[in-house]
Amino acid sequence: MTYDTENIFAKILRGEIPNTTVYENEYVLAFEDINPQAPIHILIVPKGPYTDMAHFSLSASGEEQVAFTKSISEVVKIAQLESTGFRAIANTGIDGLQEVPHYHLHILGGGPLGPMVNL
């Protein structure tokens, strides 16, 4: 998939659309989902132009991948999800019902989350 520079998260990363930032470093921005599906719903987004998880894991540099993985524990700590747990989801492609074509990891928590998948 070709990266669409006009996708909503690219606009957020460029500061064209506001967000409620939870955590940020050189490689990653994490912000609250605009339509939360759980009491806590945070999106972790790499700053590089990657369409989805498969693209990121194939093409991002080692530094970007380490920074992204470490940001998960930072976000979990900030959101105080360490003791109660959480769910991380990366919707990918058509079957994954991915809406925004810029890789993002959903961090969901703050209460029991129900079944993993409803088919």
Under the rule (CB under 6 A), what is the footprint of ligand 5GP?
Answer: 8, 17, 19, 31-35, 91, 97-100
- Residue 8, classified by CB atoms within 10 Å of its CB into exposed (0-12), middle (13-18) or buried (19+), is middle
Is 76 or 101 the residue whose CB approaches ligand 5GP more closely? 101
In the numeric block, the tokens 């919707």 are attached to: 91
Residue whose CB is less far from ligand 5GP, 83 or 104: 104
In angstroms, give the least distance from the CB of 61 to ligand 5GP: 23
Annotation marks residue 104 as catalytic: yes
The answer to whether the beta carbons of residues 100 and 52 sit under 8 Å apart is no
Residue nearer to ligand 5GP on the CB measure, 20 or 73: 20
Q: Whole-angstrom Cα distance, residue 76 to residue 80? A: 6
In the complex, the smallest distance separating the C-beta of residue 47 from ligand 5GP, rounded to whole angstroms, is: 15
CA nearest to 49, candidates 95, 24, 14: 14
Which residues carry out catalysis?
Answer: 104
